[in-house]
Amino acid sequence: MGPVFHDEVCLADKELLCIGHTYAVVAADTYEQAYLATKLIKLDAEEKTPVLSIDQAIAANSRLQPERKIERGEVDKTFKQSKHILEGQFKNGAQEHWYLETQSCIVVPGEELELMVYSSTQHPSETQAIVSEVMGIPRNEITVETRRLGGAFGGKETSGNHVAAWAALLARKSGRPIRIRLTRDMDQAITGKRHPFQSDWKIAFDDN
């Protein structure tokens, strides 16, 4: 699943890529029951060498996307003929959208394939598309309604789609309305936001 690139699994299967990567969801009558039930899930996994920096990711050929290069004009020729050249590296850290309420969703199963999705999202049609793809049903079977959001800062566009998809899966499996509301700690661990970037730059210029 994914809003642009379909590069995320709905639930982890063969590999856990990060702390907070969700591999199971549990339905229960109360939050406490669900929390205790998750403690009974046994994970059979082997630890791999972690990749914790951009330099390590480059060395391990473990990039999120291919390297991107921005050029304009006759670049090679200009660098060879230029009197002055400056180059360096720019790094900026990751960012977390500290929205006022955490990711949440209620899904109510309707007749046959219909799903009513109440999602805390800034992009209802995107949530509709993701739930449709995950559930394998047409988009017109899914209605997404969004109440007012408080200070989402863009963090409620894509990150709520996982929660909506999980709630839809549980609603279909149980035949009952499902509500998922992440705690702040869960939200911080599970949802990905703006990644850190590393940019190498080089510029040529003359005396003028």
Q: Quick check: 84 pLDDT over 90?
A: yes
Which pLDDT does position 151 carry in this prediction? Answer: 79
pLDDT by residue (tens digit) across 89-99?
999 998 888 88
pTM of the model: 0.86
Tokens for 162, please give them: 């996982």
Distance CA 96, CA 80 (A): 42
Residue type, 164: A
**Contact assessment for residue 162 and residue 10, using Cβ atoms and an 8 Å cutoff:** yes
Q: What is the pLDDT of residues 142-163, one digit of tens each?
A: 999 998 887 788 889 888 999 9
Provide CATH 3.30.365.10 ranges for the chain. 31-47+97-190
Give pLDDT tens digits for 57-79: 999 998 878 888 888 888 999 99
Distance CA 119, CA 173 (A): 19
| Residues 6 or more apart in contact with residue 104 via CB below 8 angstroms | 119, 120, 160, 163, 179, 180, 181, 182
CATH 3.50.50.60 fits 31-47+97-190, yes or no: no
DSSP β-bridge partners for residue 11: none
